[in-house]
Structure 1
């Protein structure tokens, strides 16, 4: 038989249990909210529309973000790419054609190809289609050729090459405009500029990647699953017109090494190098070929062998990582783009090869690389 004292004890227990559950719920809410702010770069805006999303960091604290004007001069941009007709990747490439076409503020688009099916897809997506010279061994074009042809055909402030399986956030030009404003205010706009960043891999195995609006689904999925790939795998390059592409060797796209060499060389020459990984969403559509497709192509080491012949005084595989760039771009607490100079780069970013110094000591000659004195 349950007496009165037992009932009081049970009542107190149930009261305590109810209070415990309430406290636990509040704690869980704080943990969830706290985690959103602890890892801000993995968080995306709550979008009013499913496909009109802009990646940015929400204010961690209550701050006054009303100062200054939101209006800015928009930077003109030429975007270009190339790809062969490969049946199992053609839908991926068409997603890229559609995505770039819908980037806000209308970048100029150039598709370089000699393939009729690829050209037809480009024309259907309202791209300018141009033929391009390819390197005879690899049968793909050199990156310098793509840039030089784009600069010749289109006069804009910035030029962007990306692999044809990369999707971008639709606010790309706004982000680049903020970077351009920083360059102007710092009197760097006339210097050679290189903007690069890490990509984000999105596995297409669980996403419908076919159809004219497939790119929207892939972008939206990327905002919920956001993991950047390696610091030495760069799939897009943005430069201004004064970047000396004529000096760059005939390094071809789609083969290992050209991406790291470009960054390393820009750093060696003292150009403005900017890591935009935190603000530019470069979404790699990962197919069944995986994330190391460059190693699967024929003549995969073509660039490595060519670079070896130029005898660079730096380890381009290390110097050419995104975290070795002199500047990095971040969002502040008001979701404004901020360009910050990195005062202390990782030690490995500036480690030179030993052999050129031995040559200098033995023969008393200046150490040059591609016509430029080392350290100049």
Structure 2
């Protein structure tokens, strides 16, 4: 093996590419209609707002549209679904075994989307029955984001309307910089969506994953500095999962957001392999999602959920993939429905798991 400086650099880049390929937010890249009857099978509706160019069949492309398009999808959940999994087969779209699309319809305008979504929200002001906006991460197809959102909504027993915001990822491991630019382009479009869905005092919760968290935080900052405190005040909470944001950048963004949505949750793991690759690519080792100095984050008024000591803590989407995390959060929520988590501070998931097991 070439161990000259050039050879070592090539080796590091290859390993980084492999890490991103294995841990990027990728998933199925096509929608599949069921090849069998779906009677008695759970169906999860997912609304979509996207600034990708949509194909005529409502599948996603990697092209930037510059404007929002809208759709709704009915996703089947297989009866033997394993929590944390997105069961998928391109060769055999059997709804008794795999996720499929039972129905897909275009929605013409943002106003029409809001008119469909808002009445479905519950009145508790809590994430269980409120509108949820999910913003996906790096190297993710629209189809993969929709299937993943359906899995999360089903596994976490979310009964309110679910809206996927899909920005135009190029869906390539080497597309990291292009994806970061697409995130910045999408800020105005996510702002439009949040403003529409928070009309008439409706509460929404926003959760983002990986690179999508930068889009979430940038949009919150933009709402604040543009004087949209009315919209910010109707955001019931924000959850950032494995956020791929430079820590110094996040602090600069965060201090400009007023009022701050609460709770403002950051789910971290020091062992996250994808964030290690991102740290190498950006030459910025302190990523928000793998920060070791959790006290620094808590002092900002965040609620930090530390996943570092759980099994598979290298997984870049542990909050969605791990039955342990899913059961843990649901157990705490069910134990005290009025106040399941503190609003700020640090929660060590492994310690909490041990307490629940005992």
Short-chain TM bin: 0.3 to 0.5
TM-score of the aligned structures, taking structure 2 as reference length: 0.33
Query: Looking at both structures, which has the greater relative contact order when contacts are Cα pairs under 8 Å and sequence separation is at least 6?
Result: 1
More strand by percentage? 2
TM-score of the aligned structures, taking structure 1 as reference length: 0.32
